[in-house]
Structure 1
Amino acid sequence: MSNRYAVILAAGQGTRMKSKLYKVLHPVCGKPMVQHVVDQVKTLQIEEMVTIIGHGAEKVQAQLGESSFYALQESQLGTAHAVMQAAPMLEGKEGVTIVVCGDTPLIKSETMEALFQHHEELKAKATILTARIEDPTGYGRIIRNQDGLVEKIVEHKDATEEERKINEINTGTYCFDNAALFAALKNVSNDNVQGEYYLPDVIEILKKQGEVVSAFQTNDLDETLGVNDRVALAEAEKIMRKRINEIHMRNGVTIIDPDHTYIETEVEIGQDTIVYPGTILKGKTIIGMDCHIGPNSEIVSCQIGNETVVRQSAAHNSSVGARVNIGPFAHIRPDSAIADDVKIGNFVEIKKAVFGEGSKASHLSYIGDAEIGSNVNLGCGSITVNYDGKNKFLTKIEDDVFIGCNSNLVAPVTVGKGAYVAAGSTITKDVPEAALSIARAHQVNKENYVEKLNVKK
């Protein structure tokens, strides 16, 4: 196998996106389009990858990091001009270079590998990735000779009536003999209406030199989708989402309604977990086996243990143990750590809190900036009062504590092991171990109050 190189075209602004965000950074299933492309290319035993950057150069470079080298296209003068910018790094090297657009997030490494192999087997100087499309209007047509090699590429506007009947199109992805590519680029002209240098002109130059130009047809048209506007972005998202869901289902996950389940690329889900409709799983979320997730739940970058249930709730950047029951309508905010066998019930909000094994907050509570021990019961309406308007303070509740309903724990405060807090209490001082703390106003009953009130009226 010859040396392999890659050029990723990611310099365009994408004006049709009508966005402040540069086109190739628009996400598809949670990952920027150009990152999808680079991640697929990285699996192909590439010697060097060069990403051509222009608009949003610093942000694209920040996204891709050290996974690629970079070349700056200061003025966007066409695709051939873009590839020329990689000359200082690639020109003169022996091998094969693949050129891929950074706005084609659906292209697969398997297809690019097949393109490489086809190119090398035919000893071609250039190979075009093609596809067949039902309505090829607007696309460049692939004209093959009797041997199946490429005779030429004809743009739609220049095609004859007979050529327009051809439905094999140029997808914009190519393999080139690296030396031949950079030699031909020097002869590409910008003598056209747009005054730009176009990469398909390299094909014509190589053909005139008598070189072999081949075409490899993908059977999956979806892979070739280039995203130029929000309509195509939504289509790419839909296709990618279907791919992701099918992978999980084939790995033993039950997804009740794949069309209404949204799972991003880096999510991991264990076998025999059931995901219900309306669920959104994002970021680096890892869900264990035998879980029930949803319906209508959002989980972002969380680790969730086996046999846990999350119903109609949201959880973000937190860890959740095994056999935990969350929801409905609970909110697990960032930096929370919930141990095994915990219950977080309806309308409970947890924020930056540690919840010990077997503890319960069954309903209508806010637990923020807190360390909750094991086997703690937080009654309905329990609140950790953690904020004085300027600073946050910590509440500590040790093991086996019982907190009565409608209790306010004014931080910083500690409730000792095995203690009880009476319902309706506002706790402002530490509660000793095994104590009962009652902190509420003395009850006063006004006899005959209603009769007196009516007399006044």
Structure 2
Amino acid sequence: MVAMTTASTPLAIIVLAAGKGTRMKSDLHKVLHPIAGRPMIDHLMASARELTPERQVVVAGHGREQLEKALGAHAAIAVQEPQLGTGHAVQQAEAALAGFEGDVLILYGDVPFVRAGTMRAMIERLHSDDAPAVVVLGFEPEDPLQYGRILAHDDGRIAMMVEYKDASKEQRACRLCNSGLMAVKSADLFSMLAKVGNDNAQGEYYLVDVVNIATLEGRHCAVITTDDPDEVGGINSRGELAEAEARWQKKRRVQAMADGATLIAPETVFFAWDTQLGRDVTIEPNVVFGPGVTVADDVVIHAFSHLAGATLESGVEVGPYARLRPGAVLKSKSKVGNFVEVKKAVLGEGAKANHLTYLGDAEIGAGANIGAGTITCNYDGYFKHKTIIGERAFIGSNSALVAPVKIGADAIVAAGSAVTRDVADGELRMVRGDQLVKPGWADRFHDAMKKKKAEQDK
């Protein structure tokens, strides 16, 4: 059917998130549990924002304070108390949509991966020439389980919708299932919801009944079907959360390799929702990306490294066993080696910190070399302080740089030094006690101890 233009029609989004999520067994609201480092409801809202909705309403119940804090001003919160079913939940958004005239898209906070294209297709079907009263998103899973069924004609017009518990054996044989997602015009939505009753097995007000009400009134409703059942998979337990994470990661790994990255053992690499990778990036096994990581071209990330909030420029080498925390910036061709942690620090072009080092709140100049065991002592128990290391400076192993402190260009800090004052350009700074030498002391000590032990063992 020919779709009419929807560009000038305002859109409102209603997201249902009032369930208690008891199967999660968690104090955290179900829809705030993260997938790829991002709350599941944020995945959904990000897709919805691609349609530039005029209004967004989240229907909350249990844990609504958490939702209010998480969503801020991005969406209005409507409260459903008590929870009397999905139809009753949508009714709670009526006040928030007062005066709104346009299309309404009804989504679920625990169904996070609905694509913007699917949402758009539902709205377009709502505006097609035959003008359905309601558009429902259907899917055909391998196992229909206890999903509600959609009984539809070949042209997509819905004959009837029924919840699983109310369905007959013949109706349960239908494989077209109801995702719960709907598109409907605001002028129709709340008037139809007012006619929904609760004479059913659950004693609840079902949202799907608006379809049957429209049909009884002589109007018709339509179903469109997603080609990816995973798109509408709901998340109700920790197990389903893990399955959703696994599906997301699998797709992201495939995309990373298609975009030109090499993953040595793809199944062991975990990305965040916003990880950005350049071309010819090599990622070894067991690398984890937290949110906020940008990786340029020709970067190598060795095994067992963890990155979050970090920026890696071209030619950088990281790990193995490295940790990059938020604010870490590695300039071109710099290197962070094994058991090195970097936080809120810039490693200049070609600079190196190869072993066993902590660099926090620091600026390291181009070409500088940071020896094994070096620590920037950035915290005095109350405040953080900065360390600045100049270009081509050499910091000897096992040094402690007590911030605030500045090490000049081409300066050398001798191994084992505890530096508390600035070091000038080109200067050598050695801060350690005099070496004590006692010739023959160790031999005499060993002899005495061996004799004492032999006497004890008699």
Same-fold status (TM-score > 0.5): yes
Pick from 365, 381, 393 the counterpart of residue 376 of structure 1: 393
Q: Distance in 1 between matches of 2:131 and 2:99?
A: 18
Distance verdict in 2 for CA 1:178–1:208, change over 3 Å: same
| Distance (Å, rounded) in 1 between the aligned partners of 2:52 and 2:441 | 89
1:445 to 2:438 alignment: yes
1:399 equivalent among 404, 409, 414: 409
Equivalent in 244, 252, 259 of residue 236 of structure 1: 244
Flag structure 1 segments of 5+ consecutive residues without an equivalent: 387-392, 427-439
Shift of 1:447: 4.9
Partner of 1:44: 51
- Residue 449 of structure 1, CA deviation: 6.8
Offset of residue 146 of structure 1: 5.3
Shift of the 451–177 alpha-carbon distance from structure 1 to 2, 3 Å rule, reads closer
Q: Give the CA deviation at 1:54.
A: 2.1
1:325 aligns with 2:335: yes
State whether structure 2 residue 45 is matched by structure 1 residue 35: no
Alignment-derived partner of residue 65 in structure 2: 58
Q: Is this contact kept in 2: 1:105–1:236, CA < 8 A?
A: no
Match 1:105 to one of 108, 112, 123: 112
CA contact (8 A) 1:124 1:177 kept: no
Question: Which residue of the partner structure matches residue 369 of structure 2?
Answer: 360
Please, which moves more after superposition, 148-157 or 299-308? 148-157
Gaps of 5+ in 2: 1-5, 379-386, 453-458
Q: What's the CA shift for 1:453? A: 7.5
Question: Displacement, 1:394?
Answer: 1.9
For the structure 1 residues 298 and 184, does the alpha-carbon distance in structure 2 shift closer, same or farther, using more than 3 Å as the test?
Answer: same
Q: The residue matched to 2:41 in structure 1 has which SS?
A: helix
Please report how far the alpha carbon of residue 147 of structure 1 lies from its aligned counterpart in structure 2 after TM superposition: 4.2
Of 293, 297, 300, 2:305 maps to 297
AA in 2 matched with 1:414: D
- Aligned equivalents of 1:168, 1:177: Cα separation in 2: 24
Deviation at 1:66, TM superposition (A): 2.5
Cross-structure match for 2:425 = 417
From 15, 20, 27, the equivalent of 2:22 is: 15
Q: Which amino acid aligns with 1:395?
A: V
Whole-Å Cα distance in 1 between the matches of residues 239 and 349 of structure 2? 44
1:340 maps to which of 332, 343, 349: 349
Structure 1 contact 127–215 (Cα < 8 Å) conserved = yes
Alpha-carbon distance between aligned partners in 2 of 1:212 and 1:271, rounded to the nearest angstrom: 51
- State the 1:49 CA deviation: 1.6
Task: Work out the CA distance in 2 between the residues paired with 1:146 and 1:307.
Answer: 57
Q: Could you list the per-position Cα deviations for residues 113-148 of structure 1 after superposition, in whole angstroms to 9, with x for gaps in the alignment?
A: 112112221411111100111211211111113543
Alpha-carbon separation, structure 2, partners of 1:192 and 1:92: 32
Partners of 2:145 and 2:309 in 1: how far apart? Answer: 43
Of stretches 217-226 and 375-384 in structure 1, the one that deviates more from structure 2 is 375-384
Is 1:275 matched with 2:283?
yes
Give the equivalent residue in structure 1 for 2:183.
175
1:373 is displaced (CA, Å) by 1.2
- Please give the residue correspondences for 1:60-75 in structure 2 after superposition, counting only pairs within 5 Å: 60-75=67-82
Aligned CA RMSD, in angstroms, stands at 2.0
Q: Distance in 1 between matches of 2:331 and 2:315?
A: 9
* Partner SS for 2:16: strand
Partner SS, residue 373 of structure 2: strand
1:435 counterpart residue number: none
Contact 2:35 2:245 in 1 (8 A): yes
Matched position secondary structure for 2:66: helix
Residue 390 of structure 1 is matched in structure 2 by none
Instruction: State whether residues 162 and 208 of structure 2, in contact with CA within 8 Å, keep that contact through their aligned partners in structure 1.
Output: no
Q: Shift of residue 454 of structure 1?
A: 4.2
- 1:249 shift after superposition: 2.8
Secondary structure at 1:222's aligned position in 2? helix
Pair 1:404–1:16, CA change in 2 (3 A):
same
Q: Structure 1: how far apart are the matches of 2:14 and 2:307?
A: 36
CA distance in 1, matches of 2:164, 2:202: 16
Tell me whether 1:124 sits opposite 2:132 in the alignment. Answer: yes
What TM-score do you get using the length of structure 2 for normalisation? Answer: 0.89
CA distance in 2, matches of 1:248, 1:159: 44
Q: Is the 8 A contact 2:165 2:201 kept in 1?
A: no
1:363 aligned counterpart, secondary structure:
coil
Deviation at 1:445, TM superposition (A): 2.4
1:55 deviates by 2.1
Between the aligned partners of 1:396 and 1:148, the Cα distance in structure 2 is 72
Of 265, 269, 283 in structure 1, the residue corresponding to residue 273 of structure 2 is 265
Q: Match of 1:94?
A: 101
- State the match for 2:317 in structure 1: 309
Alpha-carbon distance between aligned partners in 2 of 1:448 and 1:66, rounded to the nearest angstrom: 74
2:383 aligns to what?
Answer: none
Question: Percent of pairs identical after alignment?
Answer: 31
Output the CA distance in 2 between the equivalents of 1:72 and 1:114: 29
The list of structure 1 runs, each at least 4 consecutive aligned residues, that deviate by more than 4 angstroms after superposition, is: 446-449, 451-457
Q: Partners in 1 of 2:442 and 2:252 — Cα distance?
A: 68
Residue by residue over 1:198-248, the C-alpha shift from the partner in whole angstroms, topping out at 9 and shown as x without a partner, is 211111111111111100000001101100001110111111122323333
Aligned to 2:90: 83
1:286/1:158 CA distance change after superposition, 3 Å: same
- Number of residue pairs aligned between Structure 1 and Structure 2: 432
